[in-house]
Amino acid sequence: MPKKTPAPAPEPIDPKKGIIAQSIASEMETAYLDYAMSVITQRALPDVRDGLKPVHRRILYSMRLNGLTSTAKFKKSATVVGDVLGSFHPHGDSAVYEAMVKLAQDFSTRYPLVIGQGNFGSIDGDSAAAYRYTEAKMSKISEELLRDLEKDTVDWRPNFDGTKKEPVVLPAAAPNLLLLGSLGIAVGMATNIPPHNLREVTDAVAHLIDNPDASTDDLLKHVQGPDFPTGAIAFDKKAIAQAYATGRGGVVVRGEAEIVEDKRGAFSIIITSVPFRVNKADMQEKIANLVREKKIEGIREMRDESTADIRIVIELKTGAQPQTVLNKLYKHTQLEDTFHYNMVALVDGVPQTLSLKTILQEYIKHRAEVIRRRTEYDLGKAKDREHILLGLKKALDHIDKIIKLIRASKDVPTAHAALMKEFKFSEIQAQAILDMRLQKLAGLERKKIEEELAAIQKLIKELETILKSKAVMMKIVKTELQEVADKFGDDRRTKIVKGGVKQLSQEDLVPDDESVLVLTKGGYVKRTNPAEYKVQKRGGVGVVDLNTKEEDMVTTLLTTSAHSDLLFFTDAGKVYQCKMYEIPEGRRATKGKSIMNFLSMNAEESVTSVLAVRKEDWEGDWSLMMVTKNGIAKKSDAGAFKDVRRSGLIAITLREDDSLIAAHFVGKGDEISLISEKGQAIRFKESDVREMGRTAAGVTAMKLAKGDVIVSADIL
């Protein structure tokens, strides 16, 4: 077989051809680090000074270049997106448009920087219309971020292809990082900063300027906490303080909800705000799913009545406990959410986790630098004007000679040189004189020149004073920020609650006042305020307490506190439990509601005894004595009935053709009397009946003649 020709050896690398030998592992590491740093510094994280990511800064700068100020006419969003892409931001068009849309959404941005016209999305998660349909321009407050940009107040850098320049940072007359907050995910790090109230941040900046050693606690006397565009309620000032001190932490946020009772006694839950960044439509869908899965019970209907403001109405079923339903909404849906602080921003191009104080310090430092550079710019312009005015003033002393000299000169360079030589003008002064028409030059008024010169020289002194005095510069920082706050400041939207969040029970919301319980033989029950009953004089005819049917009658009337437990014993030997406040309060002469609305009783059961137990009574040494119509008595430990499930418990096991007629609490030394239908009676001590288990059948307490039954059992 012919031998295979060996493969040619690889050519040696020639550095002259621009090829460099490199380990693939080393190259991947370097390339990834370059990519990661690009994402961190050029895309995902805001600059602490103006609070903007590069894409936001480029959008605003491009809009300014195109004249899209707050007073201008709207232009197609496509114009802005195209200019940003073509001039400054070589990334996807959707990224630019989505960033611009966020700046225009009043539910996403506390102080919108863009005014949108058209469909810019909704809090229900609806996307904005395509940028060929919508229009936009800058808002008034965004103009404050770019104010004095033309006065060399910030550094500039070339754009991606070197054809234009863009600002590295904006002058930012407002503390934008705290006002707008920020959300971004970089490589290996992320940022999540909440929005805040302009007035509060302004006060905090002023306080820190006056008190450089102020602590975070001092600053939090001015900045109460986050101020979300959607309102809501933020809980736990300790957690809030921890987040601002360290730059990290979690704060529980709840949407605002109110329990409302209508004239018919039906309850509804009205939701008027949702936590920040929560999709309202998704939250409603989640509620509907929980109702279908029976994880939340008691909701009859939900409808969204939102217009400009949020309003979600949740109607409850009869007998549903509103506070319990609301607690479950908080627990299982985004009506309660946690905002996780991660206050990361770029400081001198380096990502850092920042405290509230550090963010304010960096902003103050930035504004001081902007004011210094602006003052130097204005000072330079003022000195240039002063120099020209001094030349014009000097020219007035020799105006006739100067005009004659200019007319005699064969050209401008000759006149320029002659002015400098003859009258000792500088190049700039000579040029300023030559730039004026002879008619205007001849008509110069000395008074106007001297007045303008005096004003300019006064301005120069003021500008020089600013540059020499840090205190004056800090005063300007405060004054200019206060002017912004006066123009754009508004009231806080998010409520701050000092304590931590907790699942409020209905008991927490109901005063533990005395109430009267009335139950009828037909199973109608109601709770009444004792004030409904007035003391009457002897011979009074009384008042109607319950509007019953002709065949119905009151079987139970007792007084206890609203927080008491009620034990309902039925003829079937079962016991049910509910709180006194769970029985709806009604007026004195009303009918009440069926007991079946509150207890999971069978239709064949009827209540024979109702016992009220105050909280402190459960601690006592009590027993429960039950008596049946066939003369059976049973004594059980009262503690066995402290927690009765909603479906009820067996209180006594009944024999055939027997039923429970009475249940009473008894203490040591009490006596019980039983009376039969045929007039027989017995009296015995409670100690004569031994204590038995909850489901025991009991013992014979009274032997009855054939056909006789117990009709009354009382404690003596």
Query: What residues are labeled active site?
Result: 133
562 vs 596: CA distance, rounded Å:
20
> Could you tell me the CA-to-CA distances from 468 to 363, 462, 661 in Å, in that order?
21, 10, 97
Q: Residue 536: phi, psi to the nearest 5?
A: -115, 155
60 vs 16: CA distance, rounded Å:
46
> Could you tell me the CA-to-CA distances from 23 to 12, 28, 32, 90 in Å, in that order?
16, 9, 14, 30
370 vs 348: CA distance, rounded Å:
15
Q: Which residues pair with 562 in a beta bridge?
A: none
**Helices and strands per DSSP (H, E), number in the chain:** 19, 33
Query: Shortest CA distance to 200 belongs to which of 325, 360, 344?
Result: 360
166 within 8 A of 88, measured Cβ to Cβ? yes
Q: Residue 134: phi, psi to the nearest 5?
A: -95, 165
122 vs 74: CA distance, rounded Å:
20
516 vs 560: CA distance, rounded Å:
7
Q: Residue 108: phi, psi to the nearest 5?
A: -105, -30
Residue 47 DSSP code: B
Residue 426 DSSP code: -
Residue 684: strand, helix, or coil: strand
Residue 638: strand, helix, or coil: helix
Give the sheet arrangement for strand 336-342, strand by strand: 182-185, 190-193, 336-342, 248-254, 233-235, 495-497
Phi-psi region of 121 (alpha: psi -120 to 50; beta: other; left: phi over 0): left
382 within 8 A of 373, measured Cβ to Cβ? no
Residue 549: strand, helix, or coil: coil
Q: Residue 519: phi, psi to the nearest 5?
A: -130, 140
Torsion over CA: 173, 174, 177, 182 (sign)? negative
170 vs 127: CA distance, rounded Å:
29
Alpha carbon 649 to its chain's center: 45
User: What would you report as the CA-atom Rg of the chain, rounded to the nearest whole angstrom?
Assistant: 42
